[in-house]
Amino acid sequence: MAPRTRAEALSRERIVEAAVELLDADGESGLTFRTLTERLTTGPGAIYWHVANKAELLDAATDSVVSNALAVETTGSPQDEIRTLALGLFDAIARHPWLSPQLAVQLSRSPWGSVTPRIFEDIGQRVSALGVPEATWFTATSALAHYIFGAAGQNAANVRVLDDVDRAEFLHAAANAWEELDSDEYPFMKSIAGQVREHDDREQFLTGVDLILTGITADAGPCGSSRP
């Protein structure tokens, strides 16, 4: 591979790319301007020329990953396109463990930044195409976005916890333990224990998206009908 030119090495895009690499490797604590200068073999002044501080760098890294996650080919019905976008975010959050807390920060502290409008626009356009009343667009889009962030974030947390554990064995042990619960106190838990053993996280996630879409489109008429 040819060496990067100085201009390429010091571009904002390369800085953000290196920041994402450091975040993926060591989380937020592993991203400092010192580690970044070492990764880029440059001085801190060159980095500060492009980004003012760590908070701006985290925002830029989050925006970059989210943009890539949403840059998927969406074809078909609005429901199918929403599923595709949701799954893109789900997979991105699974690949980048630091992303879920950063999205929470973006939503709560700076909803006017680039990330929240980008996500809401991409999902909201499809929600509006479902034929639901305009007065419900914000609520419906919020419900989808918060489910995506919550479910994907919990899945990412599970993946981290089970990083050194065989998933199948863990689920089998959990299912066995639930089956041993007292029938009078935990009838529901015992009834679903068998479903835990073989469930697919991505399919389970999409089932949740479908449940929300069914609720959103319940009164929308033919244009908002969900898949069979």
User: For residue 74, what is the domain's CATH number?
Assistant: 1.10.357.10
pLDDT of residue 193 exceeding 80, the answer is: yes
| C-alpha 12: how far from chain center | 23
* CATH number of the domain enclosing 32: 1.10.10
Judge whether 125 lies within some domain: yes
Same domain membership, residue 28 and residue 108: no
With beta carbons less than 8 A apart as the criterion, state whether 201 and 87 touch. Answer: no
Q: Looking at residues 170-191, what average pLDDT do you find? A: 90
Which pLDDT score is estimated for 171?
82
How far apart CA 189 and CA 191 sit, in angstroms, is 5
Burial label for 114, CB within 10 Å (0-12, 13-18, 19+), is middle
42 and 76 assigned to the same domain: no
With respect to residue 89, please indicate whether it lies within any of the assigned structural domains.
Answer: yes
pLDDT digits (tens, 9 = 90+) for 35-48: 999 999 888 888 98
- Give 48-67 pLDDT, tens digit per residue: 899 999 999 999 999 999 99
Residue 5: is its pLDDT beyond 60?
Answer: no
Residues 90 and 174 placed together within one structural domain of the fold: yes
89 and 42 share one domain = no
Domain membership of residue 208 as a residue range: 66-224
The share of the chain scoring above pLDDT 90, in percent, equals 63
- What pLDDT, in 10s, does the model give residues 21-31? 999 999 999 99
> For residues 1 and 109, which has the higher predicted lDDT (pLDDT)?
109
Which residue bears the tokens 């947390």? 157
pLDDT for 124 beyond 90: yes
Give the count of domains, the chain. Answer: 2
For residue 19, what are its two tokens? 């920041």
Does residue 101 surpass a pLDDT of 80? yes
Q: Could you tell me if 223 and 131 are in contact, meaning their C-beta atoms sit under 8 angstroms apart?
A: yes
Task: Please give the model's pTM, rounded to 2 decimal places.
Answer: 0.82
User: Which string of DSSP letters, residue by residue, matches 77-129?
Assistant: SHHHHHHHHHHHHHHHHHH-TTHHHHHHHHHHH-TTSSHHHHHHHHHHHHHHT
DSSP 58: H
**Rounded (10°) CA dihedral 167, 169, 174, 177:** 180
Q: Is residue 164 part of a domain?
A: yes
How far apart are the C-alpha atoms of 196 and 173, rounded to whole Å? 10
CB 210 within 8 A of CB 227: yes
Q: Which two tokens stand for residue 115?
A: 């990330």
Bigger pLDDT: 227 vs 43: 43
Specify whether 7 is located in the same domain as 38. yes
Q: Are residues 13 and 88 in the same domain?
A: no
Q: How confident is the model at residue 166 (pLDDT cuts 50, 70, 90)?
A: confident
Dihedral (CA of 74, 80, 85, 88) sign: negative
Spatial distance between the Cα atoms of 200 and 151, rounded to a whole number of angstroms: 13
* 164 and 84 assigned to the same domain: yes
Average pLDDT over residues 114-132: 93
> What is d(CA 137, CA 216) in angstroms, rounded to the nearest whole number?
9
Reduce the DSSP state of residue 81 to 3 states and report it. Answer: helix
Shared domain for 13 and 78, answered yes or no, is no
Give pLDDT, residue 213.
96
